[in-house]
A and B are shown apart, each in its own frame.
Chain A
């Protein structure tokens, strides 16, 4: 579905493999990766979870979506992957209205959106390796591609020593890393993280946030949902705040600067009141913590 605007993930993988040059993309204004206009979602029973939400997120952005519990954050995420149908308004992903998309195309949509959830959603009877590989098997990747991509992605998230463990043998932070690896393994243009650190302690969550930031730096748009607005208030990232289904704030706080992953992590730690000790611990993406 992204074929014209952005290379589909698989196409990208194949291109890497064959060392073909990147084709010149058509110039001009590309549609934002996420574009909501007047999206309203009313649940059966009458509860209005989203109330005329309009929002546009450009490619490559890193956006925090904050708000108290029940403000519609998760509903918003679910509408983006068409787990929920909106009541009114249009949801465009890479310029394409997904509300009218035939059901047959939904898997295709989801393959282009990496998702990370608070409860990890790993397959319990698969190893770390197989969990990540599944995302590639689903899109019909060859064994060769899987053998290349999976270990590489697991190395990126810092889990290359736990390939053959099962999810229940991992700590929460590690499980979330597996989930991130699975979401990222086919290099989707968009990544959604719904309270990725909701179940994790502050130090481990910083590790996950750092990881998401890293992924953002590869060009993937990242949307992170959190109810912890304190933490993101001075993150110098775009913050969208929802309250009772409405966007009540949408601003870039503190200026948008290029910074390294470590700087990002350090600032987050400062934000959350964790000292140098915590910083040392999270080096290597929280590995030492896991044990």
Chain B
């Protein structure tokens, strides 16, 4: 018990006596955490938006006009049973025309048509937009190349209502990768930055460690106060950063979320604030403690 008290008093003494390095470590932690705390939700929102766009992507399979209801139902079932297919819905000729009408500015074109030239179709959504080409091939029976041999006689040909399906798919895929890489880089940079600041603050005290070794202090006897120091730095840094983030959230983001859909997306698409705060806080303490421990190891060698 008195040991533990001793270690804590040692840690706080060191923090007090090494004011400047301690402050540097805390400030670095705060800055990095605030950066992470702002960017993580933004990244997540961007991811969510991109996923939303992707989930809209679909492929249509036109059906022959003379297909019977039974044939259509059978085709629908078959497609539904395929892998990566999320949703299949039937769109009648009438519905297709209706949609076209609502999208056109000059409705007269439709009015002038006396018949409905649009085919009925099956609208297929994939679990992920990147699976759409594969689904198309399988439905049309062209997986091995060669002539089309659809899985159902009711299906005539595939088409896509959005001309840009492929383009959107590519762009959002790239965006997804870029965002993931950026986020990973940011996390790595943060860890290294905090770790390095702590390394530096310990490095200035390596003579101290040397002296401790000399009078016969065991490794853990030397290590504990440094680890506690790391915890305290991480704790202080985390606390301040979360305070700043919370103030930012309540004064800037929350008022915006009523009017701005991007900010609103935060509520359902990103981590809840308490979770984010807890993660950042835990990470800060972990990183600064590990930083202390790892740096010390070098000096603790005899």
Contacts and interface: CB of A to CB of B under 8 A. Distances in A.
A135 interface: yes
B211 A138 contact: no
A103 B2 CA distance: 26
Interface string A116-137: 0000011111100000001101
Given A83-B302, A106-B302, A125-B13, A138 B217 contact: yes
B216 A139 contact: yes
B214 interface: yes
A267 interface: no
A52 interface: no
Q: Which of B3, B18, B210, B216 has the most CB of A within 10 A?
A: B216
A73 interface: no
B12 to A, nearest CB: 12
Interface string A194-221: 0000000000000000000000000000
B216 A111 contact: yes
Q: Which of A112, A121, A142 has the most CB of B within 10 A?
A: A121
A283 interface: no
B214 A115 contact: yes
A67 B207 CA distance: 27
A263 B124 CA distance: 106
B211 A122 contact: yes
A126 B93 CA distance: 88
B302 A125 contact: no
A139 B212 CA distance: 12
A135 B217 CA distance: 8
B216 A107 contact: yes
B221 interface: yes
B215 interface: yes
Contact of B208 (A124, A140, A142): A124
A40 B198 CA distance: 40
Interface string B76-115: 0000000000000000000000000000000000000000
B296 to A, nearest CB: 15
Given A125-B13, A125-B14, A143-B2, A134 B302 contact: no
A95 B216 CA distance: 20
Contact of B210 (A121, A125, A137, A143): A121
A111 B210 CA distance: 14
Contacts of B216: 107-112, 135, 138-139
Contacts of B3: 140
Interface of A: 81-83, 103, 106-112, 115, 121-126, 134-135, 137-140, 142-143, 182
Interface of B: 2-3, 6, 13-14, 17-18, 207-208, 210-218, 221, 302
25 contacts: A81-B214, A83-B302, A106-B302, A107-B218, A107-B221, A108-B216, A110-B213, A110-B215, A111-B215, A115-B215, A121-B207, A123-B208, A124-B208, A125-B14, A125-B17, A125-B18, A125-B208, A126-B13, A134-B215, A134-B217, A138-B216, A138-B217, A138-B218, A140-B3, A142-B2
Given A110-B216, A111-B216, 4 more contacts: A121-B214, A125-B208, A135-B215, A138-B217
